[in-house]
Amino acid sequence: MAREFDIPLFYRSEIISTIKKARKESDRYRKDLSPSSLNLGDIEIRIARHFGFCFGVENAIEIAYRALEENPDRRIFLLSEMIHNPHVNEDLISRGIRFLMRTDGTSLIPFSELKPDDIVIVPAFGTTVEMFKDLESRGIQTQTYNTTCPFVEKVWNRSEQLGQKGYTIIIHGRAKHEETRATFSHARSSAPSLVIQDMEEARELGEFISGRRPMEGFLEHFNGRYSPGFDPDKDLQRIGVVNQTTMLATETHDISEYLKNTIASHFQTNEPGDRFADTRDTLCYATSENQQALYALLESGGDVAIIVGGYNSSNTSHLVELCERQLPTFYVKDEREIKSLDEIQHLNAHSGKVQTTSDWFPRQRIDANSGPIRVLVSAGASCPDALVDRVVSHLADLLGRKDRLEEALDPFRKLLASAEQ
């Protein structure tokens, strides 16, 4: 999927676009995961090889702006947030698009107000089978501007195939997330389905499968997260795992391996494929690629990390989770959160609350003359490059080194010129 999307120019940026273009031209097969470095003297900003808009997000944005361009005289609605980035959603609202629901499903505009001539854009996360039917019953053409990510649809299609083969669908995801709600709806149309959030819940599920926990407690334990009529005695004999595409790919893999081994041990089979479906082909390449690039960024070493993205972005929160294991990490939605080198406002991904931290930047390292301070930067799949650009520029400005950014970009310009020869 290497097609180019028609994305509004204001989402692009000089710094990040220069870096990304140079890296792309010099590494056509995207195998070099080493970070890009902006050398500002005693400060080094290291930027992850892959981050920002993925295929599904660019596809969604292109469709949304095309809908605006093609229908200047029609009412245009978004089912809920286009993607989990406030800047993108606010721009669409400023152009006249109205949201029908919040991300949790709370109604903002009654569906009874919709008319057949209205346009309703389905967001990148997709929506439930029931919602598609509801909109279509009102005369809305849901497929005209359907921005559902192709990789999300791939999970839906794979779930249907598994259901036809008699497998129960285990969904690794956050039960209240729009994408997981949509995937659960599509999966349960084809097969018994269950949502689990993490490895801890996978182990709990394994205890029910293996008999270490009595099945009588299953329905209460997973209440609200299984399909109607779910029979654990019957429906946990053959399973397949799919995921919310923004979850940690490594965790989905670990959950799959754990459940496969649990099934094989409990049913004493050397061929677990009879009872466990291989679903590795449903993992989103962009989520995996961004996470692998972050691992490489962390391996390069750093003193502090800044992750940019919407505060309700699942994939961004997972990048933060990975970074926090190794160094001080600050999750910001834009450059305005970085008040100064003494104060930063950021989301605590564990509490879900925005907080302010003082003395966050390790500038004492400058005075200690112990080598450059290394600032690691990455961003979620729904974050425009322009926001990352502004964070980098703002940070360089606070450090009094903004005038060195142009020089820091020279190696990338030379790399691009060399690759184009």
pLDDT, residue 1, reads 45
Could you please state the CATH topology (level 3) that the domain comprising 150-283 is classified under: Cobalt-precorrin-4 Transmethylase; domain 1 (3.40.1010)
Q: What is the CATH number of domain 55-137?
A: 3.40.50.11270
Q: What is the pLDDT of residue 369?
A: 61
- What is this structure's pTM? 0.88
Residue type for position 222: F
Domains 9-53+286-420 and 150-283 share a fold: yes
Q: How many residues does the chain have?
A: 421
**For position 282, what pLDDT does the model report?**
75
pLDDT at 347 (0 to 100): 97
Q: DSSP for 68-101?
A: HHH-TTS-EEESS-SSS-HHHHHHHHHTT-EESB
In CATH, 9-53+286-420 is 3.90.79.10: no
| pLDDT at site 191 | 96
Query: If we measure between CA atoms, which residue out of 282, 265, 275 comes closest to residue 167?
Result: 275
Parse the chain into domains and list their residue ranges: 9-53+286-420, 55-137, 150-283
Residue 226 and residue 201: Cα distance in Å, rounded? 13
pLDDT below 50 — which residues of the chain? 1
User: For position 86, what pLDDT does the model report?
Assistant: 87
Candidate list 44, 178, 179, 335, residue with the active-site label: 179
Render pLDDT for 150-166 as a digit per residue (tens, 0 to 9): 999 999 999 999 999 99
Determine the pLDDT at residue 368.
53
Active site residue 406: no
For the stretch 331-336, contacts whose Cβ atoms lie closer than 8 Å and that sit 24 or more positions apart, written own/partner, are 331/307, 332/306, 332/307, 332/308, 332/391, 333/86, 333/87, 333/308, 333/309, 334/87, 334/308, 334/387, 334/390, 334/391, 335/387, 335/390, 335/391, 335/393, 335/394, 335/395
